[in-house]
Amino acid sequence: MATYAIGDIQGCYHAFCALLAKFEFDEKKDQLWLVGDLVNRGTGSLEVLRWCYQHSNSIRVVLGNHDLHTLVVAHGVRPPHRSDTLQALLDAPDSDELLTWLRHQPLIWVEHGYAMVHAGLLPQWTIQQAQGYAREVEATLQGDEYETFLRHMYGNQPAIWSDSLMGLDRLRIITNSFTRLRICSPAGEMEFSFKGELQDIPDGYLPWFDVPNRMSADTTIVCGHWSALGLKVRKDLCALDTGCLWGGMLTAMRLEDRAVFQVNHDARDKFVK
């Protein structure tokens, strides 16, 4: 039995299948950890989501920003972006079933000494605290009032955590940390416009994982989201988004020994208007 963590798929179904073949995934004994952003921008969002739904007993998934965006579009909260590739998924006869399954996925998964999130964790949070905060958002997404949350989910404020935050502001900052965070100040104030490489981070900010005295540093975080960061592996971090959608590679890591498996992007996955 082995556990393989895979970076952002984003609808790149052909590359995903090639990667599974490369490490000879066996659904009867192996497990996949998928770091979120299963869908959107690639041509195969429907196929990726169907595969995940059909293999749900063999996978662990956390929600990414594109997964949440898909739910927002599906419920008519916002129109699709010009670069979205969701229509086949939205029009599919099993769309409701697939999207309900997606809505019920967590924001964090903790097991075997690893914690998987899509983007990052605020430096003030321990893993135990992060799990509790995640459950607040998960309960809302899975509850009767989830559409109200989807309508108020977007926004960059508040940008710094306080235990006193309540209501939609509290849910929004929790969601932003798990699904959008790349850099923040040493005090934990998040900045969302930056998407570049490490050497270009603006003054006053750090990668979230390099903030001094980060409270989750005793656990190895498995994440994606930051394609410009690329593959970054160290004792406390396994960042796996290597930009398959943008012509890079799709990356998997076997968590038991940190062996890395990669495949090139597949031109069939790139949507061309």
Structure-token pair, residue 9: 């798929």
Cβ pair 70, 102 in contact under 8 A: yes
Cα separation, 238 vs 221, whole angstroms:
6
Task: Give pLDDT tens digits for 9-39.
Answer: 999 999 999 999 999 999 999 999 999 999 9
Looking at the whole model, is its pTM more than 0.75?
Answer: yes
Domains of the chain: residue spans and CATH? 3-269 (3.60.21.10)
Q: What percent of the chain clears pLDDT 90, i.e. is strictly above it?
A: 98
Band (pLDDT 50/70/90 cuts) for residue 264 is: very high
Average pLDDT over residues 140-151: 96
Mean pLDDT of 203-221: 98
Banded model confidence at residue 185, pLDDT cuts 50, 70, 90: very high
pLDDT exceeds cutoff 90 at 122? yes
Over 70: is that where the pLDDT of 272 sits?
Answer: no
pLDDT digits (tens, 9 = 90+) for 63-74: 999 999 999 999
- pLDDT above 80 (res 271): no
Q: Do 182 and 207 meet the contact criterion of CB atoms below 8 Å apart?
A: yes
Mean pLDDT along residues 119-143: 98
Among 98-102, 111-115, 161-165, 267-271, where is mean pLDDT lowest?
267-271
Q: What's the confidence (pLDDT) of residue 132?
A: 98
pLDDT of 273 strictly over 80 = no
Question: To the nearest whole number, what is the mean pLDDT of the chain?
Answer: 97
